[in-house]
A and B are shown apart, each in its own frame.
Chain A
Amino acid sequence: MDEGLRGFDEMIAWLEVLPARLEQAADEGLEHGADILEASGQMTRLYRNDTGATRGSTVAYVDNGSGGDRVAAAYATAQQLNPQRTEFNTIGGSAPETSAVVLTNFTAYNADLVTQGGGAQDWITEAMYAHANSIMLEVARRLREVFR
């Protein structure tokens, strides 16, 4: 095979794996972002926490099926610390070809917590706004690395 044909074959092979590599890079960037959001959510001072269940069950994960262990651990924490008010707050099934980071906790009162008093204790929005920009920059950096 001459050099030109080998180069062409390599390019076709690279293009064939490109979508998967881009998806992997994006997910890695979002995983990094999920770690930041989770830490931020656990450190918030917007609400007072009596049982520890809210803070302790705060979790962030990429909605690609990989967050099962984190979700299970967070849910177990909520059940342990406030079993009467535990709720499985999660979403699933992002649209095809869409990646999302989920930030939540597993308390039955979280929906009230983030909306009551005009959002005075809205720890989710606080974390998202604080870190969305840097997370997107990290995702972009990892996507660029695919082409290097």
Chain B
Amino acid sequence: MSLDLSRINQLVVNRLRLDAEGQAVRDILGVNGQGVRMAAALTCIIHADDLDKTPLPAAPFLAWRRMPTLLSERVVHRASYTWWMYDDRAQGYARLDELYGLIMRAYALRTLDQDTGGVIGAVELGDGGAQLFDRTLQRNASSINLYITAA
């Protein structure tokens, strides 16, 4: 069965933005060095195309992007996403490393469309975690990839 990309986008983002499984991720977002929340966590999850808009969300924040899909016999068989994680340079990478684990856990806790009997067969995570510095954004960065396969 083909994946509905619009629906999958919504499920992937809402897992961290709204679902209970994403609460631990949201608890970290937008919190400054003194542990004070600088912005609502919801504003700290944006599409990667919005990274060129200013001001950027309070750090740490997340940006998502869907990667090219894999077609098999004209059916969208696999959709891939990258969650980019950003933090202020002074914070180092500790919070990004923590986010990496929390994002993994958020997707592992419950299948994305389990409740609705959907078409997602498997959700795999991996290929990420490198400690990067984004010179354009002047932020520390890391990423985690998410692969969603049709049932």
Please give the residue numbers on chain A whose beta carbons come within 8 Å of chain B beta carbons, in ascending order.
112, 115-120, 125-126, 129-130, 132-133
Cross-chain contact B136 with A118 (CB below 8 angstroms): no
Per-residue contact bits, chain B 46-69, to A (CB 8 Å; 1 contact, 0 not)? 001101100000000001010111
Rounded to whole Å, the gap between the CB of B65 and the closest CB of chain A is 5
The count of A-to-B residue pairs whose CB atoms sit within 8 angstroms is 46
Contact of B82 among A112, A118, A126, A133 (CB under 8 A): A118
13 A-B pairs in the complex with CB atoms less than 8 angstroms apart: A115-B132, A115-B141, A116-B135, A117-B51, A117-B136, A118-B48, A118-B84, A119-B143, A120-B48, A120-B51, A129-B68, A129-B80, A133-B72
Contact B67 A117, beta carbon cutoff 8 Å:
no
Q: How many residues of B contact A (CB 8 A)?
A: 22
Q: Which residue of A lies closest to B63 (CB)?
A: A118
Q: Report A-chain residues with C-beta under 8 Å of the C-beta of B80.
A: 129
In the docked arrangement, what's the CA distance between A129 and B135, Å?
26
User: Interface centre among A115, A118, A133, by most B CB within 10 Å?
Assistant: A118
Q: Contacts of A129 on B, CB cut-off 8 Å?
A: 67-70, 80
Task: List chain B residues, Cβ under 8 A from A116.
Answer: 134-137
Q: Identify the closest chain A residue to B69 (Cβ).
A: A129
Chain B interfacial positions (CB closer than 8 Å to A)? 48-49, 51-52, 63, 65, 67-72, 80, 82, 84, 132, 134-137, 141, 143
How many whole Å from A44's CB to the nearest CB in chain B? 12
Measured between alpha carbons, how far is A132 from B77 in the docked complex, in Å?
A: 13
A115 B67 Cβ-Cβ under 8 A: no
Cα distance A115–B134 in the bound complex, in angstroms: 7
Query: Which residues from B are CB-within-8-Å of A115?
Result: 132, 134, 141, 143
Taking CB as reference atom, which chain B residue is nearest A112? Answer: B135
Q: How far is the CA of A92 from the CA of B149 in the complex (A)?
A: 31
Contact residue among B51, B68, B69 (Cβ-Cβ distance under 8 Å from A118): B51
Q: Establish whether residues B71 and A133, one from each chain, have CB atoms under 8 Å apart when the complex forms.
A: yes
Residues of A within 8 A of B134 (CB): 112, 115-117
State A115–B48 Cα separation when bound (angstroms).
Answer: 11
A109, closest chain B residue (CB): B135
Highest count of chain B CB atoms <10 Å: which of A120, A126, A132: A120
A119 touches B82 (CB 8 A): yes
**A119 to B70, Cβ gap below 8 A?**
no
Instruction: Decide: A119 near B84, CB < 8 A? Known: A129-B67, A132-B70.
Output: yes
Shortest beta-carbon distance from B133 to chain A in Å: 9
> Which residue of the partner chain A has the closest CB to B48?
A118
Q: Please tell me if the beta carbons of A133 and B70 are within 8 angstroms of each other in the complex.
A: yes
